[in-house]
Amino acid sequence: MQETTYTIQQITQFTGLTDRTVRKYLSAGILQGQMEGGAWHFTLEAVDAFMSHPSVRPSIAARKNAMIYDFLADDKKPAEKACLVLDCPNQDKQALSAFFCDAVNSGGYQNLRFSFDAQRNAAPRVVLTGSPTDVLDLLTKYNSRK
């Protein structure tokens, strides 16, 4: 089985950090990766080490909390919007993160945001925000993969 690797775009998706910020951490040596075919690739171990680094962890936590806070604080949403917090005990975090990265990138979802947190002391957590149709569709795909 080939090891799953992640791109900068995928890291920005599930951490909420900007491309520029992730690249600064890469330049500083906090994120370790491999340049392949003109693009950076990162192993799960490298991403785990990056996300648990004391300089990075508070920024990621702030971004994830902001997704939920922004959803709750926006009382003038122009369209229906859903926010789902999904705790996934006993799930393989590599398979889980790969599923959500692949599904969000290939699913044709408009304005669906997600974050993934496997660094908590509890179960890995996924946060999804977007249209109720997109959130429910992705949740259905997640449930049907089992």
Which pLDDT value is given to residue 1? 44
Which pLDDT value is given to residue 80? 92
pLDDT, tens digit, 9 for 90 and up, residues 49-80: 898 899 998 888 888 788 888 899 999 988 99
Task: Name the strand (E) or helix (H) holding 144.
Answer: helix 132-144
pLDDT-based confidence at residue 120 (cuts at 50, 70, 90): low
pLDDT over 50 (residue 11): yes
% of the chain with per-residue pLDDT over 90: 35
Which DSSP letter does residue 31 get? S
pLDDT (average), residues 113-142 = 86
